[in-house]
Amino acid sequence: MIRIAAVGDVHVDEDVVGRFRPALEELPDCADVLLLAGDLTRHGTEAEARCVAREFGGLGVPVVTVLGNHDHQCDEVPQVVKVLQEAGIRVLEGEGIVLDLPGGRLGVAGVKGFGGGFAGRCASDFGEPEMKAFVRTANESADALGAALRGLDCDLLVALTHYAPVPETLAGEPLEIYPFLGSYQLGQAIDSAPTALALHGHAHAGSERGITPGGVRVRNVAHPVIKQAYSVFHLGEQPDPAEVSGIGPSGTQQPWS
């Protein structure tokens, strides 16, 4: 069994430092790894990244993240990534990593992702150059995720994104903004490999649970949705390796129904 803690959209700045840390100190007792689903900062500044490093660095378990749209706002992505990496937080963008954990070898493939919408109501690669560029960005991001997933040799495989791969986890958000919250291409990429679980954030008013067309369970772990410092997912248990529980920092178990 591998225990995965996850949260996204923590939007850390100087005012938030210290808010998550007490619960994070308990991580080694209840999880083997922490996955962060983007929007670590408010505006994507180097100074805010240093706050993230203070809050999420040195936890006693590996920490892996993707960036979110907020982390790109001030065009300081190289500086943000450098600060996080120096704190021991692995940043993925179209890449994968295999972690040797007590319960087995966990593969994590990550990409920020992009918008575009979902089957039947999505942007198309047609018309103005700006629209073509928008759709091309979504396609390239999904292609990178799929290649990273398929390239990992591991016991269990997890996809980590900021944008949503399915519309079900957006339920609660205005329908008009669905195309800016995720894309069906990400779901196709996840289904192209034997993925056990897909985690994302971004949709603050969304829902926790969804499933890809290929049957991969999807969880929206945005902090405003899970309303706790992190959720914990157990992979590798029988009979269903991906459907166990979310566990808050207090240890309270919340069964998926």
pLDDT single digits (tens) 109-165? 999 999 999 987 888 888 899 999 999 999 999 999 999 999 999 999 999 999 999
Calculate mean pLDDT across residues 16-38: 96
pLDDT of residue 243: 39
Q: Are 245 and 256 in contact (CB under 8 A)?
A: yes
Element (H, E) at 118: strand 117-118
pLDDT of residue 120: 78
- Confidence class for position 49, pLDDT limits 50, 70, 90: very high
Q: Which of 127, 122, 54, 131 is nearest to 89 (CA)?
A: 54
Q: Which of 140, 141, 122 is nearest to 200 (CA)?
A: 141
Question: Is pLDDT of 61 > 80?
Answer: yes
**Verdict on whether the full-model pTM lies above 0.85:** yes
Question: Is pLDDT of 26 > 50?
Answer: yes
Residue 22 has a CB neighbour count (10 Å cut-off) of: 10
Question: CA torsion, points 184, 190, 191, 196, in degrees to nearest 10?
Answer: -140
Tell me the C-alpha distance between 146 and 192, whole Å: 6
pLDDT of residue 237: 66
User: How large is the angle between the packed helices 46-56 and 77-86, nearest 10 degrees?
Assistant: 20
